[in-house]
Structure 1
Amino acid sequence: MSQPQRRAVLNLYKTLLHLGREWPQGYDLFKKRLHKVFVRNSEETDPNKIDLMIKHGQFVVKEIEALYKLKKYRAMKRRYYDDS
């Protein structure tokens, strides 16, 4: 793995760990699953496949952020526009 790819993987891991703090099922479960996925793919040496996995990880980051924003939006909507 080249140095830029290694840096990208580490940044992705740190970003996902940070996002996992608000995970609904708990941070410990998120951290355990995240670690398992990264360890499972740690032996990969093909640069193209590593790039694909990094891109997939960045997609997952965007999806998690979208879910958190939706959760916050729904909470604010309930708080300010309660129909009852």
Structure 2
Amino acid sequence: MASKSSRLRAIALYKELHRLGRDYPDPSYNFHGKLRRLFEKNRGLKDPEDIEKALKLGEFIRNETLALYSLRKYRHLKRMYSDDPLSDPLRDYRS
């Protein structure tokens, strides 16, 4: 049986991933549906090693999603402040 601490970790991870999924850039990916299916698939795990492995996978997905968002923000800032005239987002309006 899963310990109470691993259950609380799983719930907190699910909530955090669900919040992160709101801003996922590709709506056709169905982030929330895949997240729910993944957690439902692992709901019946009993072995503590398997539970820890599933939680580590969820934490990896969280970290990769956060990295994706950071990269998206970085690219946006680079486009906004770049010296390259071809990447100027306001070039059509300045003419």
TM over 0.5: yes
Considering fraction of residues, name the structure with more helix.
1
RMSD, matched Cα:
1.6
**Greater relative contact order (Cα 8 A, min sep 6): structure 1 or 2?**
1
Tell me, what secondary structure is at the counterpart of 2:75?
helix
Secondary structure at the aligned position of 1:42 is classed as: coil
Q: Which runs of no fewer than 5 residues in structure 1 stay unpaired?
A: none
Residues 5-14 or 53-62, more deviating = 53-62
Give a deviation string over 1:31-63, Cα, whole Å, max 9, x none: 111101111111111111101111111111111
> What does residue 21 of structure 1 align with?
22
Question: TM-score scaled by structure 1?
Answer: 0.92
Identity over aligned residues, as a percent? 39
For normalisation by structure 2, the TM-score amounts to 0.82
Contact 1:20 1:27 in 2 (8 A): no
Which is higher, the Rg of structure 1 or of structure 2?
2
Structure 1 partner of 2:43: 42
Q: Is the 8 A contact 1:16 1:61 kept in 2?
A: yes
The number of equivalent residue pairs is: 84
* Aligned match of 1:78: 79
Task: List gaps (5 residues or longer) in structure 2.
Answer: 86-95
59-68 or 27-36, larger mean C-alpha shift: 27-36
